[in-house]
Structure 1
Amino acid sequence: MKVLAINSSPRSSDQSKTELMLNCLSKGMRDAGAEVETVALREKTIKHCRGCFTCWTKTPGTCIHKDDMTNELFPKWLESDLVVYATPLYNYAMTATLKAFIERTLPSIQPFFEIHEGRMFHPLRHKIPAAVILSVSGMPDEGHFRALSAHVKYLFASPGRRLLAEIYRPAAEAMISPFFKDKLDDILAATTQAGRELVRSMKISSETLERITQPLIDAQSFAEAANDMWKTLIAEGKSRG
């Protein structure tokens, strides 16, 4: 299995919880025999889709932009069996960088209209890879991922598209605290196990997902601790100004 792991976090590797989780997932996939290539979108130039439809008319299947998406990433995307879309949760959604990446896969779609089970859609020009969504959030409960989940479920619902799994890790900033070391170890081990399961069975067991999303602390205690932290950081910021 050929896997493309897309990291859309703007943070460097020592700060990114998205990258921490993605690395564990990728390790599990490699353990199970997959060939995994990781791409950090922060290091790439991806221009925004102009909506010109040149890739549908003048040069079918080829984007007008000549950038890293056209020259490198889109061909790798098409060659993959599975793509992991990894993103921190920004405003209850994926990052703008990942959204731009997905929009630039438009050349893989034909301009025509078809109807399947009451839904109108554009048919695919190429066979496209199956998808897995991985997201982390600083907020402590899974409810904050609802908008992202609804979006990706609809995005990958038309014929020819497959969403194999959604992996959501709340309280991602807090989980690296030494206070939660045992839980963090189990979360990361479960994420690695999820990678193995994806390669072996194209799905993740509910038991593994429950370990990944396990709660760290009650909401009230979380809020109090987080507020104290931010007050300290603000005070330090003012003193350095």
Structure 2
Amino acid sequence: MNIFVINGSPRGEKSNSYQLTKAFLRGMTLALGKAPDTEQVNMKTVSVNELHIHPCLGCFSCWNKTPGKCCIQDDMQEIIEKLLWADVIIWSFPLYYFTVPGGLKNLIDRQLPMLLPFMTERKDSFGSGSHPSRYDISRKRNIILSTCGFYTAEGNYDGIYSLFDHMCGKDQYTALCCGQGELFRVPELSERTEAYLKFVEKAGQEYVKGGIQESTWANLRQLLYPKETFEAMADASWGINRESGEKESESLIFTRQMAALYHKAAYQGKDLVLEMYYTDLNECYQILLGREGSSVFTDGSQTATTRIETPYTLWRSIAAGEIRGDEALMKKMYKVKGDFHLMLQWDTYFGSGKTSPEGAIKKNGAAQGEDCRNLHIPPRGTNMNLLLLPWIIFWAAASIHSYNGSLLSIASCAVIPLLFYRNKKTIYDTLTAALVIGFSLGIFLGAPKRILLPLSYLSFGIMWTASCFRKIPLTAHYSLNQYGGEGALQNPLFLKTNRILTFMWGILYLLTPIWTYFIMGTRITALTGAINSILPIFMGIFTAWFQKWYPAKVASGD
């Protein structure tokens, strides 16, 4: 297969439209490389901005004086040779004033030598007349890959479609046109644009295999960002104050674009004010997050609910993914004052784009969740209730009635695994089942309950405490569901918070066997499970408080 790529952007390979093209080509080459007995793939690429192509003179010498040859001696003759050589022609370009860029239009005009001068009717009945091709191009396939600066391609490509309908035949080419093209060059938004480019790559694979599937087209038609969000970011990017017309600073432009990512659906009944103080510039801006959207204030007139003190260069690096925000926070490279709730829920307020400091505390798993939503597959999370339930049943039931309690505990360990089709299992779930069944069998077979029950608490405490010395402490496997998914495991503050909590829970259950042993020697032995549930209730309250207090304390730099 011979593939000829015509990059019609004046920006060459740095263009936004060429990002689409590279993704589509990756998909094509991947599919062709895996196909059995595939013919050799040859690819040639030209950038129109590097070519020397004069405008057509309209002299018709290529028709009547030197048939098939243009009188102008420039690079166009080589282009015609490649057009005739190609099996697939990819036209890559941005939308310029509702049509193709000027240089590419010159190239298209100069295809006249490839036509015969005679009048003919088109087979597709498009237009009111045509000229037949000088060559057999019936098997050539054409693809349009284009971006534009509007929020959507819909309604803006009529001129392009009309041109290519005339050139290639109506419905005889494939067009993938994407709005919001300027976002492809913004590193802070790369998470969203890269997700879109994955679908473009998939489209390239499917094109080779026979055609792009409707499900892929549906994903390609999705907006990168909602109209309101995109247009706010686009307006801010010019750096011109809408009222005064004056040029704005780079840091203010960045802050406005960050504010544009606010999801007003996240509004929780109370206005929030995020204050960004860029310490290296001594500049301070406030973002009001309200019911109707976001507003940026430059006069300090609002009362901040959350204040971030950071070097501007650092925040840009975090937003661009050059440094992890959570790591920078742990290293005290920036501070967060006031209500830390906004940082914990950063993705909820500002989405999954990397304009956040990797969520500071929360983020990091958004890519996984986003992928699952695009594929319409709910992400599978861990569930601590499934870990605790066998233990609770054993401690409560076995302390009341040895025989029936042991049977009930074994039954729970047999039934609970059936629930894991909806949840992700951890090593601690597996270890729990083995230990509970082991202790239940021991009591069932007549082992002293007063010995085995304290030992069960001890083993539970050892499991928690020992996990503190592993890379990921036990509680982190389960609390990550509230903090963005698996990506939270890369967050050092998240891990440290959970390591402290896991250790404290472990110590509690290492001590529990002591008083359990003595309680079981009294008349209230049947109440052992109930008594041992009192301290965990208070510990649970403490855990909920500590999860909020400790990250906020670290973030404040105190």
> Post-superposition shift, 1:138?
1.5
Deviation at 1:147, TM superposition (A): 2.7
Contact 2:196 2:224 in 1 (8 A): no
TM superposition shift of 1:179: 5.4
Report which stretch shifted further, 189-198 or 111-120: 111-120
SS in 2 for 1:55: helix
1:194 maps to: 203
* Structure 2: gaps spanning 5 or more residues: 33-40, 242-246, 251-558
Q: Is the 8 A contact 1:186 1:211 kept in 2?
A: no
Distance 1:17 1:36 in 2: 21
Deviations 1:159-189 (A, max 9, x none): xxx7330010110112454554443222211
C-alpha displacement of 1:211: 2.2
**Residue 135 of structure 1, CA deviation:** 0.8
Secondary structure at 1:167 match in 2: strand
Write the distance in 1 (CA, Å) between the matches of 2:159 and 2:122: 24
In the TM superposition, what is the alpha-carbon distance from 1:200 to its structure 2 partner? 2.5
For residue 48 of structure 1, the aligned residue among 52, 55, 63 is 55
Q: Distance in 2 between matches of 1:236 and 1:182?
A: 25
Deviation at 1:12, TM superposition (A): 4.4
Does 1:211 pair with 2:219?
Answer: yes
Which of residues 152, 160, 164 is equivalent to 1:148? 160
The question of whether the paired residues in 1 share the 8 Å contact of 2:16 and 2:184 is answered with: no
Q: Deviations over 1:62-90 (max 9, x none)?
A: 111111111x2110111111111111010
TM-superposed CA distance for 1:30, in Å, is: 1.8
Q: Percent identity?
A: 28
Equivalent AA in structure 2 for residue 155 of structure 1: M
Q: How far did residue 8 of structure 1 move?
A: 0.7
Partner of 2:2: 2
Matched with 1:135 is 146
Question: 1:175, 1:210 → 2: CA distance?
Answer: 20
Runs of 5+ in structure 1 lacking a partner?
none
Q: Which has the higher contact order (CA 8 A, sep 6+)?
A: 1
**Other structure's SS at 1:56 match:** helix
> 1:105-124 to 2 correspondence within 5 Å?
105-116=111-122, 118=125, 119-124=128-133
1:31 maps to which residue?
A: 30
Shift of residue 232, structure 1, vs aligned partner: 5.2
Tell me the C-alpha RMSD between the 2 structures. Answer: 2.3
Separation in 2, partners of 1:67, 1:150? 28
Residues 81-125 of structure 1: CA deviation (Å, up to 9, x unaligned)? 111111101001111111111111111100001124554211111
Q: What is the Cα deviation at residue 26 of structure 1?
A: 1.6
CA drift of 1:20 comes to 1.2
CA gap of 1:163–1:206, structure 2 versus 1, over 3 A, is same
Q: 1:87 to 1:63 in 2, by over 3 A?
A: same
Distance in 1 of aligned mates of 2:184 and 2:220 = 11
Q: What amino acid sits opposite 2:59 in the alignment?
A: C
State how many pairs are aligned.
231
Kindly indicate which of the two structures has a greater share of residues assigned to strand. Answer: 1
Bigger-Rg structure (1/2):
2
Aligned to 1:59: 66
Partner of 1:79: 85
**TM-score (ref. length: structure 2):** 0.39
